[in-house]
């Protein structure tokens, strides 16, 4: 074990989340950022390990021990996110059950939706109270440009898995969409059509409010801002008025609650 690993804690925060309130973060991935995406806007910076293969990164026992230091868990919610895609954790279901039993708080999972075609992943996620699934694109070309998935992932399979999960699970499903630039009227209509088919409980429109780290920094899991010395890449957010107009258009067309990120937000 290296000196770098000696200081890793799987629990962080609480984070002031514009979506969930005071959120205690659980990182089931660890020091090496690991994801099936390498998003152009990711606050973690360039993903160090790009994969779609599930494995155990952090044991459920370690997460249980790390949680004890944060008692009495005076937060609104516990959120699995952190250093990459949480559904890559092979022990995800066990982690969710452990966290809920220990904290007696609702638990959310932030996922990029890529593994929802896997029945075991859907079963694991069914233990969560809230699942916030990422959808940043309405076409394969846009998806590959914005989310930069690992080779082998399939755009149509992602959508099939998301629809299947929606049919099987009765918990709260939120769709989180990062808007990097103004979408064309055609793209907006395609998005609305997809949301009408999926019927999530809530849509969360986001736009970059934090810089993108050029190199991996553990602190970017939470609210800690990057400084110029950190080697950050500033991302320009979409105009708040444009985002609000689009949110109203989506809500009017679908009847689904749509929330927009406050441009002063720094948390999840």
Instruction: Confirm if 25 and 75 have CB atoms less than 8 A apart.
Output: no
Q: What is the pLDDT of residues 115-170, one digit of tens each?
A: 999 999 999 999 999 999 999 999 999 999 999 999 999 999 999 999 999 999 99
pLDDT tens track for 23-81:
999 999 999 999 999 999 988 889 999 999 999 999 999 999 999 989 988 999 999 99
**Segment 94-113, tens digit of pLDDT:** 999 999 999 999 999 999 99
pLDDT at 78: 96
- Average of per-residue pLDDT values in the chain: 88
Where b means 16+ CB within 10 Å and e means fewer, 156-182 reads: eebbebbeebbeeeeeebbbbbbbbee
What distance in Å separates the CA atoms of residue 14 and residue 165, rounded to the nearest whole number? 29
Count H helices and E strands in the chain, helices first. 8, 12
Which H helix or E strand runs over 173?
Answer: strand 172-178
Give the C-alpha separation, 163 to 151, whole Å.
Answer: 22
pLDDT, one tens digit per residue, over 186-198 is 999 999 999 999 9
Our CA dihedral for 100, 103, 106, 107, rounded to 10 degrees, sits at: -60
pLDDT at position 67: 94
Nearest to 197 by CA among 142, 131, 135: 135
């Amino acid at each position: 074990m290296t000196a770098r690993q000696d200081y890793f804690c799987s629990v962080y925060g609480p984070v002031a989340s514009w979506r969930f309130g005071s959120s205690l973060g659980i990182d089931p991935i660890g020091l090496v950022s690991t994801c099936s995406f390498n998003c152009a806007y990711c606050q973690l910076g360039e993903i160090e390990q790009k994969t779609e293969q599930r494995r155990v990164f952090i044991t459920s026992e370690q997460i249980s021990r790390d949680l004890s230091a944060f008692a009495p868990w005076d937060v609104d919610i516990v959120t699995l996110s952190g250093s990459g895609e949480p559904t890559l954790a092979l022990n995800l279901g066990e982690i969710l059950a452990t966290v809920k039993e220990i904290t007696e708080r609702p638990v959310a999972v932030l996922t990029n939706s890529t593994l929802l075609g896997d029945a075991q992943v859907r079963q694991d996620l069914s233990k969560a109270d809230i699942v916030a699934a990422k959808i940043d694109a309405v076409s394969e070309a846009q998806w590959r440009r914005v989310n930069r998935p690992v080779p082998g992932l399939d755009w149509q399979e992602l959508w099939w898995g998301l629809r299947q999960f929606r049919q099987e699970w009765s918990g709260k499903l939120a769709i989180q969409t990062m808007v990097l630039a103004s979408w064309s009227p055609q793209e907006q209509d395609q998005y609305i059509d997809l949301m009408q088919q999926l019927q999530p409980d809530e849509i969360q429109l986001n736009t970059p409010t934090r810089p993108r780290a050029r190199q991996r920094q553990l602190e970017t899991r939470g609210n800690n801002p990057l400084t110029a010395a950190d080697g950050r890449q500033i991302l320009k957010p979409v105009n708040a008025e444009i985002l609000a107009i689009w949110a109203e258009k989506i809500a009017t067309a679908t009847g689904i609650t749509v929330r927009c990120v406050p441009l002063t937000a720094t948390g999840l």
